[in-house]
Amino acid sequence: MIVKVLIVDDSAFMRKALSSMLSGDPNIEIVGIARDGLEAIDKVERLKPDIVTMDVEMPRMDGITALKHIMERNPVPVIMVSSMTTDGAKATLDAFDLGAVDFIPKNLSDLSVNIVKIKEILIDKIKHIARKRVIKRHVRAVTAPKVIDVPKSMTARTTGERKIGIISIGTSTGGPKALQDVIPRLPKDFPVPIVIAQHMPQNFTRPFAERLNQLGQLEVKEAKEGDVLRAGTAFVAPGGRHMKVKRQRGLETVINISEDEGEFIYRPSIDALMSSVAEYFPSRALGVILTGMGNDGLKGLAAIKKAGGRVFAQDEETSVIYGMPKAVVDAGIADKILPIEEIAGEVINSV
């Protein structure tokens, strides 16, 4: 299958960089170039690309406005090209709500992986997304999923009586939308802490945590060094750094933030987070792996499973990219394989 790509960007440098990276693959064809949103709308209709890379800030019509029109008239998978500022992060999150499936940074060196991996990852990502034809049609209002109530019998139990003492979630491509389908369903009085590793660069994770916090009743925050884990709070790993849990001051469990790359390609690393959870919550951890490319999380989830914990994986049908969940399923360590809309309920049933 030849993947037809339309590149939309007002920067000649960015158009050339993306074209150069993608055109070297024999299974990718650059079918067109657009310099602003108006050209993008026209060329999507005429050229029928399999996937579009869309700049956010452009003259005449910006990428967000163009995305709205495209999703209403000719829905196609769209990857946003975003600046790494806080404003750029907020615009990209708006784009996810409107139907975009992923993003890449305007400065490609800002990706949370080694520079030598950027081309390979971008090509693989485009092929996976285009072939699955991931499309979420334009919606005019973003509403949180309905909150699921925790049965009183569960909230009445003490911490020591609980079969699960922490929930750890890992995700990558497609993760922002997947997490918006899970976290807002959890109630304010959720009885155990939640830790989340989403592959995102710096400046993106705080606005994303704030958005999750606004969508539901559960408290969601970007984690910082020394945060004490507490029930009813979800901690999102800060972009560009690793997050782990550790025990200090007696039995108190806290967040540890590190920039040490070590053996891990991604920052934040799902493996790093899950491995620490397995160490400090043996037999009492639930690890959840959601949509994403590659196999980050497999090692950490295997550790959780070996320590007596449980593992849930998102199913292929509802995953934008069935890479990370597939690695876990193929390894035989998933206790349950679930569509995204059932994960919150199963998490609640486990605590």
DSSP bridge partners of 167:
194, 286
DSSP bridge partners of 288:
169, 312
Tell me the catalytic residues. 172, 199, 296
Q: How big is the chain by its Cα radius of gyration, in Å?
A: 20
Provide the sign of the torsion angle of the four alpha carbons 275, 276, 277, 278, taken in this order: positive
Alpha helix stretches (DSSP H) within 175-306:
175-182, 205-215, 270-280, 298-306
326 with 301: CB under 8 angstroms? no
What phi and psi, each to the nearest 5 degrees, are found at residue 43?
A: -75, -30
Could you give the CA distance from residue 41 to residue 65 in angstroms, rounded to a whole number?
10
Provide the sign of the torsion angle of the four alpha carbons 164, 169, 170, 173, taken in this order: positive
94 with 64: CB under 8 angstroms? yes
Q: Please report which helix (H) or strand (E) contains residue 169, including its range.
A: strand 166-171
Could you give the CA distance from residue 144 to residue 142 in angstroms, rounded to a whole number?
7
* Residues near 187 by beta carbon (within 8 Å), at least 6 away in sequence: 147, 148, 149, 150, 217, 218, 348
Amino acid, single-letter form, for residue 65: T
